[in-house]
Amino acid sequence: MCGIAGVVQSSNQVAKPITKTVLKKMADALRHRGPDDEGIYCKDNIGLAHRRLSIIDISNGHQPMHSSMGDISIVFNGEIFNYIELREELIKKGHIFLTHSDTEVIIHLYQEYGLDFVQLLNGQFAIGLWDDNNKKFILIRDRVGICPLYYTFEDNRLIFASEIKALKPALTNGLEVNKETLDQIFTFWAPVSPNTFFKNIYEVSPGQLIIFENNTLKKHVYWDWDFNKDNFSNNSEEQLAEELHDLLIDSTKIRLRADVPVGAYLSGGLDSSVLVAMIHHYGNVPLRTFSLNFSQLEFDEKSYQSKLIEHLNSEHSHLMVKTEDIAKNFMQTIFHTETPILRTAPVPMGLLSSLVHENKYKVVLTGEGADEVLGGYDIFKEAKVRHFWSVNPQSSFRPLLLKKLYPYLNLPDSNQATYLKKFFGESLDDPDNICFSHLPRWSTTAKAKQFYSSELNEELNGQAMNSMLHSLPEKLKNMHRFNRSQYIESKSLMGGYLLSSQGDRMLSKNSVEGRFPFLDHRVIEFSNRIPPKLKMKGLNEKYLLKEAMKQYLPKEIINRHKQPYRAPDLQAMTGEYLGEELRHHLSVDELTKNGLFDGKKVSFLLKKADSGRKLSIPDSQALIGILSTQVLIDQFI
Amino acid sequence: MNEDENNTEDLLRTFILENYLFTDDQKKLNNSDSFLDTGILDSMGILEMIYYLDEEMSIKVAPDEMIPANLDSINNLIAFIDKKTN
């Protein structure tokens, strides 16, 4: 990952002219994303800044980069994995290259194809491109939101950066909390794109580009998840498994392209195991893996990791995360997430990337995205069971299937379905609701809102759900309900949390780049044509993936019950583990000062947490959500 | 209501008020309020309460006793505890 930033103004008549000093400050704020090189460009109404993590063409990839005529300037964060093939095609068309970097390929692609070039990219990218001939500036973000890209528009200036902290030096005023976004996070775990936790600061949504021309911003969607039922494949199960197999080999192989060694995360679950097996069999590089272990056994997956390491003979490093490590690293984690979080899971991911960095690796492949693309999440199963249940809502037997889905959650072991019904029965009478799959999760998460201050409650008027519904496209109504769940999951939790708070931010804080073979757009587009019944056969998740890859993996990995990545939450953030500094942020005085939460209620929550009793998920999410919000305000506002 | 029952009622009310309504305002809870209907407790909350009954009051709730008739209000809980202890 690199870091990009810049300021573009429509004329010289602005209150705050672009200066190299400001651009340098913006670049400095992104130093962790790119410690290897820095570049600043400032001319007329354009200011660009870049921090580089050198991975491809290490000696020649300095940025900002310009076309040979100087009419195109670019800052680019990410990787174009098919740059070699694109470069060859461009050379055939007469383009002359001065470097072997993928950045230069983007410049030539734009010269050759205009904005349509983005359709040719296979990769992860955030791009800022100035076209001096047409006096327009373009911001482009990859299809699914792997590389972050934020912007604001104030006083006729477009200010953009890979992280919000890098916008600050160029802003006329400071940052302010966007309370409506806070409410969205306390419902969906993540802001509804393009919102962020900060007022007037937006992300370029995944799959979008923004054109700044004649002092106006125009947004354009160039790619979206397409689950058209008419496009479902009629190929046999065996054919589809073979196609998926071949695609995954290629998507993995091109993600090993680098001029530095590439490693991989190994959790012990199916997805990372598939990935590591692909590297072992087809990568033609030494297999180097990194894992997290937890001192609390309920979160640890060491036995599965060991099986794979032995099976594939990987050179392996692991990091044992102790419960106390979570609170100790919480504040610096929040500094990087730049948004409130409801679970502590990002913290260990940040520690894992530090292990990668210490081992002098800059790039890791991870299995992220497989669950969204190929149908792995329990929430998809849950929705399937709830649909089955909704046909006969009075059934006591049908909801008990839900207990099988969550063995790790200790759901009530009751012969009566009443309590399960209360938890999962949300909208059971409305199975055609387009958000049916996600309503129980959102309703559980929203319990944290009981800690809002009365002032915040008055200010907000339950707009979070409307914002979500407004963000969802009409085409969702015509999708198969399984695909609807996939769409919502990919657009909300994956883009807004997994790839950002738990993904890019936790990697880039230690100057590590993540690559995601399951999120190759060819894999996604192929998978979108797989009939849902082959993604989840009965309640067997990622069925086709297992069929495609079972030849490479031990049966114990293929057949294991899916265990989502979790980290110690509440137990790590209470009692002796929660130090004075964090407790200070939860004090009645601090809560009252920020005005978002009810200090007295939160003190009862903290007392409950400190009691040491096993607590519920909503309480845990509330405490971590409130604490991270308080910390964020202290750090940024 | 005898003294033991009063004590049980106070303990239960304090537990529910402080741990689920996050308040010490007695007016926020009636003894007949259904925990499920009012949203005071969900299935996770019920689990927590079962742990509490076990740890603090030595009342063990069997799986077939995990029903609203036993657990869904202060009054139901008092009656259930009374039945278990006598």
- Shortest distance between the Cα of A424 and any Cα of chain B, in A, equals 9
For the ranges A142-146, A284-288, B1-5, B12-16, which has the lowest average pLDDT?
Answer: B1-5
CATH superfamily placement of domain A3-174? Aminohydrolase, N-terminal nucleophile (Ntn) domain (3.60.20.10)
pLDDT for res A411: 55
Q: What is the mean pLDDT of chain A?
A: 92
* Subunit contact A416:B67, Cβ cutoff 8 A: yes
B48 contacts in chain A (CB < 8 Å): 613-616
**Looking at the complex, does the CB of residue A612 fall below 8 Å from at least one CB of chain B?**
no
pLDDT value, residue A13: 67
Are B16 and B74 in contact by the 8 Å Cβ rule? The answer is yes
Q: Give the model's pLDDT for residue A627.
A: 97
Q: Which of A515, A520, A517 is nearest to A1 (CA)?
A: A515
Closest CA to A41 of A13, A16, A72: A72
- Tell whether A618 lies on the interface with B, counting CB pairs under 8 A: yes
Cβ distance B47 to A615 less than 8 Å, yes or no, reads no
Chain centroid to CA B41:
10
Q: In what order do the strands lie in the sheet with A216-221?
A: A65-66, A72-80, A123-131, A136-141, A208-213, A216-221
User: Could you state, in order of their start, the residue ranges of all structural domains in chain A?
Assistant: 3-174, 240-322+341-368+499-558, 570-636
Whether residue A62 is predicted with pLDDT greater than 80 in this model: the reply is yes
Q: What is the pLDDT of residues A440-466, one digit of tens each?
A: 899 889 999 999 999 999 999 778 999
From the list A615, A605, A611, A504, the residue with the least C-alpha distance to A568 is: A615
CA distance A68 to A66: 6
A411 with B42: Cβ contact below 8 A:
no
- Give the C-alpha separation, A631 to A585, whole Å: 7
pLDDT, residue A233, reads 96
Please judge whether B43 and A419 are an interchain contact, meaning their C-beta atoms are less than 8 angstroms apart: yes
Residue A156 contacts residue A177 (beta carbons within 8 Å): no
User: Angle at Cα A540 formed by Cα A536 and Cα A545, nearest 5°?
Assistant: 65
Name which of B19, B43, B48 is nearest A411 (Cβ-Cβ): B43
**Pick from A153, A124, A121: nearest CA to A137:** A153
Determine the topology of domain A240-322+341-368+499-558 in CATH. Answer: Rossmann fold (3.40.50)
CA B34 to chain centroid = 10
Does the pLDDT at position A605 exceed 90?
yes
Neighbouring-strand partners of residue A7:
A47, A159
Nearest CA in chain B to A419: B43
User: Which residues are CB-neighbours of A493 under 8 A, at least 6 positions away?
Assistant: A188, A189, A190
How is residue A476 annotated by DSSP?
Answer: G
Establish if A450 touches chain B: CB-CB under 8 angstroms: yes
* Spatial separation of the C-alpha atoms in residues A435 and A481, rounded to whole Å: 9
- pLDDT at site A409: 53
The pTM (predicted TM-score) of the whole model is 0.93
Greater model confidence, A570 or A346? A346
pLDDT of residue A408: 53
* A3 neighbors A133 (Cβ within 8 angstroms): no
Kindly determine whether residue A412 and residue B52, on different chains, have CB atoms separated by under 8 Å.
no
* Residue A76: φ, ψ to 5°: -145, 130
Q: A380-394: per-residue pLDDT in tens?
A: 888 888 888 777 777
- Predicted local distance difference test score (pLDDT) of residue A415: 47
What are A609's two structure tokens?
């947490």
Q: In what order do the strands lie in the sheet with A3-9?
A: A37-43, A46-52, A3-9, A157-161, A150-154, A202-203
Phi (first) and psi of residue A50, to 5 degrees:
-145, 140
Task: Assign B73 a pLDDT band (cuts: 50, 70, 90).
Answer: very high
Q: Residue A609 and residue B19: Cα distance in Å, rounded?
A: 9
Peptide bond into A64 cis (omega under 30): yes
What is the C-alpha separation between A248 and A537, in angstroms, rounded? 21
Helix (H) or strand (E) holding A65: strand A65-66
Fold of B3-20+30-85: 1.10.1200
For the stretch A464-512, pLDDT in tens is 999 999 999 999 999 999 999 999 999 999 999 999 999 999 999 999 9
Question: Considering only CB atoms, which chain A residues are within 8 Å of B42?
Answer: 419, 422-423, 444, 447, 616, 618
- Are A450 and B45 an interchain contact pair (Cβ–Cβ within 8 Å)? no
Q: How many Å separate Cα A142 from the centre of its chain? A: 12
Q: How far is CA A256 from CA A119, A196, A476, in A?
A: 22, 32, 35
ipTM of this predicted complex? Answer: 0.86
User: What is d(CA A6, CA A129) in angstroms, rounded to the nearest whole number?
Assistant: 10
CB contact under 8 A, A418 and B36: yes
Rg (CA), chain A: 24
Q: What is the pLDDT of residue A372?
A: 96
Separation in Å, CA of B19 to nearest CA in chain A: 6
**Contact status, residue A563 vs residue A378, Cβ threshold 8 Å:** no
Cα–Cα distance, B35 to B16 (Å, whole number): 9
pLDDT, tens digit (0-9, with 9 covering 90-100), for A185-239: 999 999 999 999 999 999 999 999 999 999 999 999 999 999 999 999 999 999 9
| Mean pLDDT to the nearest integer, A266-276 | 93
Contact with chain A for residue B58, Cβ under 8 A:
no
Question: Which residues of chain B does A617 touch, with a Cβ-Cβ cutoff of 8 Å?
Answer: 44
The three-class DSSP label of residue A9 is strand
Please, are residues A329 and A341 in contact by the beta-carbon 8 Å criterion? no
Which two structure tokens, joined as six digits, stand for A606? 């903290």
pLDDT at res. B62: 84
pLDDT level of residue A563 (50, 70, 90 thresholds) = confident
Same fold, A3-174 and A240-322+341-368+499-558: no
Lowest mean per-residue pLDDT among A112-121, A250-259, A439-448, A627-636: A439-448
Mean pLDDT of A357-370: 96
State the CB neighbour count (10 A cutoff) for residue B59.
17
| Burial class (CB within 10 angstroms; exposed 0-12, middle 13-18, buried 19+) of A302 | middle
pLDDT tens-digit map of A319-353: 999 989 999 999 999 999 999 999 999 999 999 99
Rounded CA-CA distance A575/A586 in Å is 13
Alpha-helical regions (H) of A197-301: 237-254, 270-282
CA A562 from centroid of its chain's CA atoms: 20
| C-alpha–C-alpha distance, residues A186 and A221, integer Å | 27
Is B48 in CB contact (< 8 Å) with chain A?
yes
Q: What is the DSSP letter of A204?
A: P
H/E stretch holding A160 reads strand A157-161
